[in-house]
Amino acid sequence: MSNLGSPDAVKPLRLTGRLTIATIQDSKSTLLDALRTSRAVELDCHEGTAFDISFVQLLESAGVLARRDGVALSLRQPVPAPLAALLAEGGFRDWTIPLARSAA
């Protein structure tokens, strides 16, 4: 799941399956590891089968951490429709804009 290439390269990070409260601790650990080892992370959720508000909270928290640490964090576009709908319903539209959460 991780790419051990150059720390300056964009690290693709794929999260699959249910991205919900039931799996949030695993998703959190995986995402934090990626943020610690790269200057840019692109989160790919295209193989996610379910999303809930706990995943949106993880995205928001990771975005704060990434900005604090100067790491660019983005979602691979286009965002899967179920996740895009959840983000839009909660007013989190920035995540559906490419590189909106960039540290730059």
pLDDT at 3: 41
The pLDDT-based confidence of 104 (bands split at 50, 70, 90) is very low
Segments making up each domain of the chain, as ranges = 10-96
**Residues written for the chain:** 104
Mean pLDDT lowest for which of 5-9, 10-14, 56-60, 61-65? 5-9
User: Per-residue pLDDT for 52 more than 60?
Assistant: yes
Q: What is the mean pLDDT of the chain?
A: 88
pTM assigned to the model: 0.82
Alpha-helical runs (H) found in 1-104: 24-37, 53-69, 81-89
Fold adopted by 10-96? Transcription Regulator spoIIAA (3.30.750)
